[in-house]
Structure 1
Amino acid sequence: MLQLAQGFWTHLAARRKRQLVVLLVLMVLASFAEVLSLGAVLPFLGVLTQPEKVFSYPAIQPVLAWLRITRPEALLLPITVTFIAAALLAGGMRLLLLYAQAKLSHAVGADFSYQIYKRTLY
């Protein structure tokens, strides 16, 4: 399998190699966005069920002071907006990754088809 991948890599044009590297970076960014959206679930559920308990944690007091939140019930809106933003970001990154993968795979297939046809003719 490794030999097949190496053979595949040697037949790619320099442009496609750069595009594959960009796609790899996009995959890593999409993975981080997924982790962010999954990590936002627990704080969201915690604020929904027990806002008073979450409000009393000393680690989030600087954030609460910066947001000027003085009541536990006021935590619901910022946490909800953050959760929605994280979910939308992860979904958007997933769609962008799917689009980039499909476009690049079609381009690589077209390049290979062109080379095969050209070598068959000559």
Structure 2
Amino acid sequence: LFQQVRIAKRYESDADLMRAALRAYLQKQSDQVASKRYFNVSMQRRLSQVDWHLTVITTLLAHALAMLISSVSGQKLSPEKLLDQSIRLAAEKHSGLTKQLEASQPDEEKSELIE
């Protein structure tokens, strides 16, 4: 039976068939550490955590800067308005900011990014 499946699925050796079967089994196991699905789920979960932390830090920074600007200048500035202005300016000056970041990187990092 094993040989018939190998021939029907056009695997050249029994080892190829075993690898394919094992790979298919592991991909279907979402809770198994070695599976692609586990990796994808855990990576998505981690990215969501990083995104949440970045949002919290950005919000805290906006609140702190708004309070600082308000106390120094005397004009009232809301954190939401500060965030909106920052996002708009970053979108407008995206290419210039990218060039500045690339220029500030050491040569070793530039070569790693190109590859």
TM-score of the superposed pair, with normalisation by structure 1: 0.41
Higher helix share: 1
TM-score of the superposed pair, with normalisation by structure 2: 0.43
Q: Which has the larger radius of gyration?
A: 2
